[in-house]
Structure 1
């Protein structure tokens, strides 16, 4: 970024201290702007740290043309933003903080330390060295003319970056309360929906012994979406990547089915079931001839009892077993959310058309993506893009 004039007297307020906000703060501070980050919670990066508890998936090691389509309707709008800070750039950025990364067999990229905390600590040191101030327990409440209002009072800044997250995991800071503030300013906000979220199932008592077990080697299908990912059976329903990746179609009303034997055709399954069973029970015959795991057989009986006796009919059923559920888990339990600040309300630099000098970034924007590094990458990329837009705005005014 080439500075056209000294910005050291300019100020920026960044609201929200997740990956998008911290990246925006970094970009602004590197340009010489005086930056203060305001965070409602007592500490920063809470959802970022939670994401790293099971291994911080920073990005997906894939070329841009394979990466961008995962953002569906927002793909075209996000393409230039992701091109400016792609998967390779995310990895270089982490290495620049002294955090080596590695790529797993699935293409997912993780820090060697796996956890988020070492990366976050190094990042905060960098921001401190750049002069970024961080104010915690400052909850944003809206606008008062050109000023920003917080529970603690009013703040004025030359530019503002809003990075307030979506509407899931409210206890970590993303409660979506900002949506009503912006709607009150006649700024378009698309209603929130649960994304990357588990399925709610009202299990019978017979399923209790299987709680905690993974459903493996299956294929989930909902509408145009399919997944070979695993799911964990819990007392509440089904959780895991296999369900998260098709949650959008379920949310939009598509029927969900699961193929319990995805590597075999209907005819192959039927031929095996057609073998004579002698005095064995129907359930034992299915289990032995198909070598079907107890959990898969339990799911078939849970959702389709009594199972068909005819081999062809049973084969078709096992290859497309309807999943009986009562919807997705609540919005607050979702890893991420759909909906948010409409791109129509923003210009190409992610500045609010209704409020020149105010930019937005991260999950508060109206995009969604699957897990696998796409979420964090887009948060960081949009934070960086918003910072660049804010710097350009300062240089032009």
Structure 2
């Protein structure tokens, strides 16, 4: 069958009142065609002539339209679906905290430059994102972490050939904010918490949380490690118990974390051991039941029939299986207010233990207790004991 010599005609599409031409089975709508006008408007005819001329010049084949440039919002979506949700998760499939960190880091980028082509993102635009974080009173260290995640977004995009390598190389030229040399808020150095402040807070915490504080103070565990203790993770056969957290900060590196529990720690833990090895020792559910029991015991008036059981069969909010580091820290903060002591954070207990062990047994012992691979990391946690230096100065200086 010989192909037709004349190009397809321009015709009027009644429902949409537009001029249309069909090329290679695809309809091309070219603009408005008023009612009652038999001849196409001049601008419509010009659009038709240009389209057909291009089609004929291409050998009556459809012209390949260049895809629209990838926007930053689209890049973030691809990064999230193809990488972040796959890579940043625990071995059991649950997301790590880094997923939430990326949400917080990429949100201002999407808000400011979501519609911008990703290939046009530049160092000055990255600094504009950073400035919004400074204006939001985010601390300098956190700002540097979040900007680093934005850079890693573009590093991934380069590896996937979504943007050119010069884009990422240019962003790497933006240095992190230096201490005391920017408008960003500086945070105080994390110091060990005085034992008297810890003891003052314990009566104002639920029994489970009070025990968790004592265990963390005795072992130097991270808050998350203490909160997620289970019977399955404990070896109670020896004189010194062994705790191997199923999850910890360096799980993704394939490293094993071992925490040794001495006699004081064992006595704290014994009342919380449960028949179910998968049950968490320090349970928010148990804390809630303890609160209800305390309120019932303190009640002075008679319980009315309508008040006997007000619990919902299917409540919308239920206690979690274990405390997170955020709920743990919030409970300690409330207890500090009730106790009338300066606010302290659970991670300071780790610093307290490190300083205590370093003073008594040396830096290497503190390194082993904290589970650090390098001693220089331990020095961040363990304050130097200047007693010996003071004695040297007094006797020889």
After TM superposition, the score normalised by the length of structure 2 is 0.22
- Please state which structure has a larger fraction of its residues in strand: 1
- Please state which structure has a larger fraction of its residues in helix: 2
Considering Cα pairs closer than 8 Å and 6+ residues apart, tell me whether 1 or 2 has the greater RCO.
Answer: 1
After TM superposition, the score normalised by the length of structure 1 is 0.22
Select the structure of larger CA radius of gyration.
2
